[in-house]
Structure 1
Amino acid sequence: MTDWIDIGPLDAIPPRGARKVTTPLGCVAVFRTGADEVYALDNRCPHKGGPLADGIVHGHAVTCPLHNWVFDFTTGEAQGADTGRVATYPARVEGGRVLLDAARLQARSEAA
């Protein structure tokens, strides 16, 4: 059974926007698409360390604000000619609240 951490209301994240979220188990970027889907990725771009939560959300991807690398929300893989990857974390919306998978966040914090 998966334990989920409630990080707040979906409305706290603008459509096609993101928020940096600090949880007891680590810090991630949580994204909301125009269709109200939510995704969570590491907040740090592997290229130059750009804060992905400050990037541009489009479709199912985010563009890093520093050097325009684009990362797919579902795989964390860089798109196009760029190579790299960021970790992804299960996220869902339930009752208008955004939830993150506690076990995956715990595994991330233990690996750091």
Structure 2
Amino acid sequence: MICRSEDVPAGGVKRRRLPNGDPVAVARLKDERLVAFHNECPHFKGPLGVGALHDTEIICPWHFFRFDLITGKAAGTGESVMKLKLYEVRELDGEVAVACD
């Protein structure tokens, strides 16, 4: 378990560490879906979880790279070698769980 469901309101992001030490962020999209992603930008390891959340994209606060939180792909760049690591996330009985690899 990463956090309580109420800790991640629509449009909100919660940052934590997984048991293996990986930084992870959980965001609740406007449609109430939860997504979990590695909380380091693949560009220069900027703290993505403190970036702006717009629809299904997160914007890195350091260099403004955008990532689609559904696919993990860099947004607006065509094909890119940068891809955001996504995690399986579940919500059950008021708790949010993220699967470690």
TM over 0.5: yes
Structural RMSD (CA): 1.5
User: Size of the alignment, in residue pairs?
Assistant: 98
* Matched-pair identity in %: 33
Equivalent position of 2:30 in the other structure: 34
Pick from 36, 47, 50 the counterpart of residue 46 of structure 2. 50
- More displaced, 53-62 or 9-18? 9-18
Equivalent position of 2:89 in the other structure: 91
Unpaired segments of 5 or more residues in structure 2?
none
Residue correspondence of structure 1 range 1-112 to structure 2 within 5 A: 6-26=1-21, 27-81=23-77, 83=80, 84-101=82-99, 105=100, 107=101
| Ranges of 4+ aligned residues in structure 1 off by more than 6 Å | none
Cα displacement (A) at 1:17: 1.9
Q: Deviations over 1:35-91 (max 9, x none)?
A: 221111111111122101101111111111111111111221101127311111000
With the length of structure 2 as denominator, give the TM-score of the two structures.
0.85
**1:11 partner SS:** helix
Q: Deviations over 1:8-56 (max 9, x none)?
A: 2111123212121112123211111122211111111111221011011
Unpaired segments of 5 or more residues in structure 1?
1-5, 108-112
**2:42 partner SS:** coil
